Amino acid sequence: MTQLPDQRTLIALATLGSITLLGGAFMFQFLGYPPCEMCLWQRWPHAAAILIGCIALMLGGLRVFAVLGAMAAATTGGIAVYHTGVERKWWEGPDSCTGGGAGLDMGSLLSTEGANIVMCDQVSWELFGLSMASWNALASFALAALWIVAALRRA
């Protein structure tokens, strides 16, 4: 019978998963796919999960950190589902980065950064019909499951 990895290993895997996803986001940015506003929102919970994972590994994988890691991964997954819905036109997104950009102010359009505005309702890259946001949702919920299993395991 195959036994599940211990709590520390599960936390390490979940932490490495967020490192990989965040690193992938930066790699895509480096390759010429600038992030939209909602893409940036999805990065913060991954950064939090990485920090939580590192602290848990240093302190011995306390259950509370595994719960916090699950919450961070689920948060980025939730944001990614929202972003996917905006991309697929299932619901409206924020005015500041969707449609015609009605929520943008003239100052941002006139600045040098204004030329780099990426609209959140436009898919810039996809694989097998899924956008980066959709892939992030799937991966993030898988990581949340790892964190939950880690929380249920004994140290």
Over residues 123-139, the pLDDT tens digits come to 786 768 878 888 999 99
CA distance 78 to 84: 10
The whole-number pLDDT of residue 106 equals: 43
Q: For residue 138, what is the domain's CATH number?
A: 1.20.1550
Q: What is the pLDDT of residue 53?
A: 96
pLDDT at 2: 67
Residue type present at position 52: I
Please give the average per-residue pLDDT across 61-72, as a whole number.
91
* Residue 108 domain flag: yes
Q: What is the DSSP string of 46-80?
A: HHHHHHHHHHHHHHT--HHHHHHHHHHHHHHHHHH
**Tens-digit pLDDT profile for residues 71-116:** 999 999 999 999 898 888 888 877 777 765 555 554 444 444 545 6
Q: Is 90 exposed, middle or buried (0-12, 13-18, 19+ CB in 10 A)?
A: exposed
Q: Please indicate, yes or no, if residue 85 is contained in any of the structural domains.
A: yes
Q: Is residue 1 part of a domain?
A: no
**pLDDT score of 32:** 86
The upper half-sphere exposure of residue 134, i.e. CA atoms within 13 Å in the direction of its Cβ, equals 16
What span, in angstroms and rounded, lies between the C-alpha atoms of 147 and 104?
A: 38
The answer to whether residue 102 is domain-embedded is yes
Residue 87 covered by a domain: yes
- Does the residue 2 lie in any domain? no
| Domain count across the chain | 1
Which domain covers residue 113, as residue numbers? 7-152
Q: Is residue 22 part of a domain?
A: yes
Residue 41 has pLDDT above 70, yes or no: yes
Average pLDDT over residues 55-84: 92
User: Where does 1-155 show beta strands of DSSP type E?
Assistant: 126-127, 130-131
Q: Is the pTM of this model over 0.85?
A: no
Q: Which are the contacts of 35, defined by CB distance < 8 A and separation ≥ 6?
A: 25, 29, 43, 118
Give me 66's structure tokens: 């595994």
pLDDT at 8 over 70: yes
52 lies in a domain?
Answer: yes
- How much of the chain, in percent, has pLDDT values that exceed 70? 84
